[in-house]
Amino acid sequence: MKAKNEADSPKTKSNLINQLGVVLRSAEVHHVKNIAVGNAINNFVSLLSEFVKYEGDFILELRGDFFFVNEFRIRYASEVMINFDYLVRLFRTLEIGTVIIKSGAGTNDIISLTEAFVKSPAVNPFETIQQKMSHVNSITVHKLKKIVEEDLLDARKMVKKSYFKAVSFTQGVMNKIQQGEKIALKKAKRMIVSLVDHIINQEQLLVSMTSIKSYDEYTYHHCVNVSILAVALGQRLGLNIKQLTELGMVSLFHDIGKLEIPSRILNKTSKLSDEEWQVIKKHPIEGVRLLLKMKHVDFISIRSAIVAFEHHMFFNNTGYPRIKKSFPLDLYSRIVSLADQYDAMTSARVYSRIPMSPDKALNLMIKQAGSQLDPLLLQFFINMVGVYPIGTLVILDSMELGLVYESNPGFVTRPRILILSDSNGNRVDAFACDLAEKKNDGDFRRTIVRTLDVSKWNINIAEYLL
């Protein structure tokens, strides 16, 4: 067995993908013979030669929204995000699924690859690249596998089942706590582990479940939604499975203190008085009290207590509970605060029956970047949910009406949508289309013109997304 070395590390794999992005991006603006492209290629080749010494061939595969190198899933890190997103988009447009660069590949082979990638036509791009690369023995490309509808349907069913299981589990736990029963966190952990697993493998599917909102069971859906959104964001930030599980747990319990707020205040439909607001604002502290009363106080319950305490404190130390001296907020608190605001704004609740459309909520959050919200985390969050998040209703330049059901990584303005009505406004059987899809002349087939307010249209989003 070969000795383990630096080249085995995920960082090297991620650097290689990043550098490939640099090569192809610079070749889009300059000629391949240009010195900038030449330097980028040389850097790539030297990284590659280190890598192949220990790992053999370099196999880069796009699966869903993520890259795998030699079967190892590569995490997104902020410094490589731009190039990763660019490559995902490029692979999709060119219909490339896998690139295998064999250990003997040299500079000229990488130049051929670069030329083939940047100069391929909009029609049959994959076939053209394959033909152009046919003389390069050390590099092979494979076509992007189209996800078979049936597989997707099965995955959707499984994810949906887990989602509703999580909601009913949360309801059960909350009821027990309300009745004064001491609960153990073990079961909750098991449930979160399965959600984390789905997020790792089916991120978009599970995130799409969070657009299911329930007015009557708002609290339970809210806890699960915040948990899913937080874990999905954590995954994008590169947290490991153990940290993602912790994050999922602490998010689930962020509003637990609301159990101690009298329901006449919590469920009041008219405007709250100042005194009533003061009571509501106690839920972070009540949360701490409840969490430290759990059966066993351990690391998770303490971290949950911190997040429960801090989730309404803002990035700039405003918000509540008011504190005398400012301190940096826990990373998990900053993540939960984002997920919490987004889910709350886009749900119908007792005191705001009309939910905000997802894109409107996001726009409002952008205005709060740097003051209430952590700007860097928000950038990752937007990248995850897309500029047009799942559940957004849109009008297209074709005058068709569409519903966003999946975001397109790296192509935030071109999500995948379901067409709900034709250009004359007649309802049609919903069908899926990808806004990144181009016509033969290279122009996009459909483009979003503007968003619409779902509440003004008689459309049941959950019905379509489920």
Which residue lies nearer to Fe ion by CB, 65 or 340?
340
Neighbouring residues of 235: CB distance < 8 A, sequence distance ≥ 6:
75, 199, 200, 203, 244
Which residue lies nearer to Fe ion by CB, 257 or 410?
257
Which residue lies nearer to Fe ion by CB, 140 or 368?
368
Q: Minimum Å distance from CB 143 to Fe ion?
A: 44
Q: Minimum Å distance from CB 223 to Fe ion?
A: 8
Q: Minimum Å distance from CB 358 to Fe ion?
A: 17
**Among 95, 203, 255, 310, which residue interacts with Fe ion (rule: CB under 5 A)?**
255
Q: Minimum Å distance from CB 341 to Fe ion?
A: 8
Burial class (CB in 10 A: 0-12, 13-18, 19+), 251: buried
Q: Minimum Å distance from CB 107 to Fe ion?
A: 54
Chain residues 267-296 in contact with Fe ion, contact rule CB under 5 A: none
Which residue lies nearer to Fe ion by CB, 351 or 457?
351
Q: Which two tokens stand for residue 354?
A: 């009309």
Q: Minimum Å distance from CB 256 to Fe ion?
A: 9
Q: Is 304 left (phi over 0), alpha (psi -120 to 50) or beta?
A: alpha
Which residue lies nearer to Fe ion by CB, 251 or 357?
251
- Taking each helix axis from N to C terminus, what angle separates 331-345 and 358-367, rounded to the nearest 10 degrees? 140
Q: Are 402 and 415 in contact (CB under 8 A)?
A: no
Which residue lies nearer to Fe ion by CB, 198 or 312?
312
Q: Minimum Å distance from CB 343 to Fe ion?
A: 7
Among the candidate windows 63-71, 100-108, 249-257, 441-449, which touches Fe ion by CB under 5 A? 249-257
Reduce the DSSP state of residue 305 to 3 states and report it: helix
Strands lying side by side in the sheet with 448-452:
427-434, 416-421, 401-406, 393-396, 448-452
Q: Minimum Å distance from CB 212 to Fe ion?
A: 16
DSSP 198-267: HHHHHHHHHHHHTT---STTHHHHHHHHHHHHHHHHHHHTT--HHHHHHHHHHHHTTTGGGGGS-HHHHT
Which residue lies nearer to Fe ion by CB, 142 or 349?
349
Q: Minimum Å distance from CB 351 to Fe ion?
A: 13
Residue 420 to residue 395: CA distance in whole angstroms: 10
DSSP 454: G
DSSP 368-401: TBTTTB-HHHHHHHHHHH-SS-TT-EEEETTS-E
Q: Minimum Å distance from CB 220 to Fe ion?
A: 12
Which residue lies nearer to Fe ion by CB, 255 or 286?
255
Q: Which two tokens stand for residue 116?
A: 């083939």
CA dihedral 23, 29, 30, 32 (to 10 degrees): 40
Closest of 37, 62, 59, 48 to residue 126, by C-alpha? 62
Q: Across the strands, what pairs with 427?
A: 421
Q: Which two tokens stand for residue 25?
A: 């991006």
Q: Minimum Å distance from CB 99 to Fe ion?
A: 43
Q: Minimum Å distance from CB 72 to Fe ion?
A: 36
Among the candidate windows 4-12, 15-23, 255-263, 370-378, which touches Fe ion by CB under 5 A? 255-263
Which residue lies nearer to Fe ion by CB, 255 or 374?
255
Residue 113 to residue 132: CA distance in whole angstroms: 9
Residue 16 to residue 142: CA distance in whole angstroms: 19
Q: Are 390 and 454 in contact (CB under 8 A)?
A: no
Q: Which two tokens stand for residue 118?
A: 């940047």
Which residue lies nearer to Fe ion by CB, 238 or 321?
321
Which residue lies nearer to Fe ion by CB, 55 or 255?
255
# residues contacting Fe ion (CB under 5 A): 2
Which residue lies nearer to Fe ion by CB, 7 or 230?
230
**Binding characters for Fe ion, 325-364, by CB under 5 A (x = yes):** ---------------x------------------------
Residue 74 to residue 66: CA distance in whole angstroms: 7
Q: Which residues bind Fe ion (CB under 5 A)?
A: 255, 340
